[in-house]
Amino acid sequence: MKKFTKRVEDFVCANCGTHISGNGYTNHCPKCLYSRHVDNNPGDRLSDCGGMMRPISVETIKDGYIITHKCEKCGKTIKQHSSPNDDIDTIIEISSNPDFIFGK
């Protein structure tokens, strides 16, 4: 296997299958906004939980949105900044329906 180091992470969303090109800022899916529980605090990558994190609420702020993710495995919640290419329709869905589950 080829060894390589990269600073940004490309990944495939385990919830909806979207391919995400990492930009070094986001670890959530721009389409369904699911995230993975890999951080204890945003960006530190210190958690080994690995559970799927469901977007449960959205707060509007001056320069975007704060998305609250809840881990479906351990129940931890983490707030994250939205990123500019997040799907605005999904953000609106979540903010108007706290029980929103993508694709269901």
According to CB under 5 A, which residues from 2 to 61 bind Zn ion?
13, 15-16, 18, 29, 31-32, 34, 37, 49, 51
Q: Provide, rounded to whole angstroms, the least separation between the CB of residue 96 and Zn ion.
A: 19
| Strand runs labelled E in 39-102 | 52-61, 64-71, 77-81
Q: Which residues contact 6 (CB under 8 A, 6 or more apart)?
A: 22
Rg over CA atoms, the chain: 13
**Please, which residue, 12 or 61, has the CB nearer to Zn ion?**
12
Three-state DSSP class for 1?
A: coil
Q: Provide, rounded to whole angstroms, the least separation between the CB of residue 67 and Zn ion.
A: 13
Interface ranges with Zn ion (CB under 5 A): 13, 15-16, 18, 29, 31-32, 34, 37, 49, 51, 71, 73-74
